[in-house]
Amino acid sequence: MMSNRGTDILFQLIKSLEKAEKRHFKLYIKRSSGKADLKVVRLFDAIDKLTEYDDKALLKKLSGFTKPQLSNLKNHLYKEILSSLRLLKSTDSIDLQLSEFYDNAHILYKKGLFLQSLRLIDRAKEMARTNRKNNILPQLLALEKRIESLHITRNIQHRAHTLAEEVNEVNLHIDRVGRLSNLSLKLFAWYVEHGHARNEADEKDIRAFLKESLPADVHTLDGFYEQLYYFQSITWYAFIRQDFLQYYRYSQKWVDLFRNNPEMIRVETGHYIKGIHQLLNAHFDLRNHKKFKETLSFFESVSKLTRIRENDNFRVQCFIYLSTARINQHFIQGSFTEGVRMIPSMKKELTKNVLFLDTHHEMVLNYKFAMLYFGSGDFGRCIDHLQPIINSNTSLRYDLQCYARLLHLIAHYELGNDMLMESLTKSVYRFMSRLKNFTAVEEAMLNYLRRSITLRPRELGAAFKDLLNQIKHLEKNRFQTRAFAYLDVISWLEARLSGKSMGEVIREKYLASKHR
């Protein structure tokens, strides 16, 4: 399961089109050109039939095309497809509608039809404010100021004062939203690169960064986007620090913001989906089984909204997050074997939508598939799904890369591959040491695995018990929780000592927690 990131951009664009979009493009290009047999249509059809992009194969299919012609036609076709999509999607996108208003107002201004231009600007400003799209207001206000300063169209004294106030208000709002969205993005980027805070030094850095980046008036924010990016920022901040209670509170605020402003669900669908995903993760991290189940059911109903079903990006985003949540539900309940049954259909769906899959989510899903196989006792397939993470050259999620190596090592241990254990243990130790990525739990596990190579079978039970005693008291330590979030080491050890499967041990804990 590898995403199609390195291929030709025109090929990617054509393969991303739905049937209706392809049909619309054909009508659009033939209508605009007036010719039935266009070279761009032939090129479009030829690329559409390819399973993998290949210039040589394409030229063989297109008789009469030279390589320079092909390059020029590809550029032309790319632009025409985007124009066709813009026309088709304009009624479905507030951003495209506002952009069209601005373009038309600018054309009318250039034609000297100033009052018509101002009327369109007023309509655009009203639509932008209704949908909280304040980012386009500076462009609209700049065009309005240009018209008013060069041509006397209305009461200039009154308009000058009003326009100046509008510009100041918009600039203040955009500055605040910009700072908060920058903060949210930087915190998210920190997590994608590093994972959770590993120690007091990491936490100190994150705390200082948040303090210096937050606006002074953060507690008086009342605009939708200001609140959205503030809630996102604190959600990421809490998640990085593994303060799962704060993580839950702010992911809930994130989702509630949309519930209190339902008109914004259509405007910012992607943010809404991601908010529900974060809330699900928070319930999972807190082992809040009842709320997790309720939120998952709610998310499933959201995924059926027409807005999401008809948009590839949102549909795939929902599928990835729902898949993650359903796998997490099996982790909670210890039903690994049932979870494994979902993997083939999930992989089939992911292969169909490979163009929309990013490296980060690909790594996460591979790791979760590996964990399902590990929990079900299929250590060979577990190893197969860890290999793409271990062999990747990405700089993303070093924490996940570390745990992929650790789980890979334990899977080989379970398979009894004693000949590999020493070299694998040294390799994992070197990788984690280089990144300074150890927690006390991880170091205890590595030391045990390295030492167990020399132990006799009858000595392993005592060694397991000793390791469990070493790490059991760390379960509530905030800087150690990531070890238990990625790999439930305690349940694995308890299963080893009791002779039960890991799934049985987790299932017993799950059932016991329901009766508390």
Q: Nearest-CA neighbor of 237 among 227, 252, 250?
A: 250
Query: Is residue 137 included in any domain, yes or no?
Result: yes
Measured distance CA(236)–CA(191) in Å, rounded: 8
19 and 148 part of one domain = no
Query: Running along the chain, 516 residues long, what does each successive block of 10 average in pLDDT?
Result: 60 86 86 66 87 82 78 88 85 84 90 88 89 86 83 63 83 85 88 76 85 78 88 93 93 96 91 96 90 95 90 88 93 92 92 77 90 93 93 76 86 86 82 70 75 67 77 71 74 85 88 72
Please give the angle made by the CA atoms of 87, 93 and 96, to the nearest 5 degrees: 60
**Domain count across the chain:** 3
Residue-level pLDDT at 494:
86
**DSSP-based three-state secondary structure for 480:** coil
Which of 41, 56, 91 is a domain's end point? 91
Q: For residue 460, give both structure tokens.
A: 């392993």
* 201: in domain: no
SS3 37: coil
63/131 same-domain check? no
Boundary residue ending a domain (68, 91, 114): 91
Please tell me whether residues 86 and 97 are part of one structural domain: no
Domain that holds residue 27: 9-91
Give residue 307's pLDDT: 87
Give pLDDT, residue 3: 45
Together in a domain, 26 and 118: no
pLDDT at 159: 72
C-alpha 497/C-alpha 382 separation (Å) is 22
381 near 411, Cβ under 8 Å? no
Pick from 144, 140, 138: nearest CA to 159: 144
409 and 433 fall within a common domain: yes
What contacts 445, CB < 8 A, 6 or more positions away? 406, 410, 467, 471, 489
Q: What is the pLDDT of residue 29?
A: 85
The CB density around residue 119, as the number of other CB atoms within 10 Å, is 13
Same domain as 468, residue 427: yes
Judge whether 332 and 292 are in contact, CB under 8 Å.
yes
Residue found under tokens 């041509």: 151
pTM of the model: 0.76
Q: Are residues 33 and 148 in the same domain?
A: no
Q: Please indicate, yes or no, whether residues 34 and 107 belong to a single structural domain of this protein.
A: no
Residue 486 confidence (pLDDT):
75
**For the residues of 264-326, what is the DSSP string, one character each?**
HHHHTHHHHHHHHHHHHHHHHHTT-HHHHHHHHHHHHHHTTSHHHHT-HHHHHHHHHHHHHHH
- Judged by DSSP in three states, 346 sits in helix
**Cα-based torsion angle of the residue sequence 424, 425, 431, 434 in order, rounded to the nearest 10 degrees:** -150
Do 147 and 14 reside in the same domain of the chain?
Answer: no
Domain boundary among 108, 136, 154: 154
User: How many residues in total does the chain contain?
Assistant: 516
Q: Which position has the token pair 């596990």?
A: 445
- Domain co-membership, 434 together with 498: yes
Considering only CA atoms, give the Rg of the chain: 28
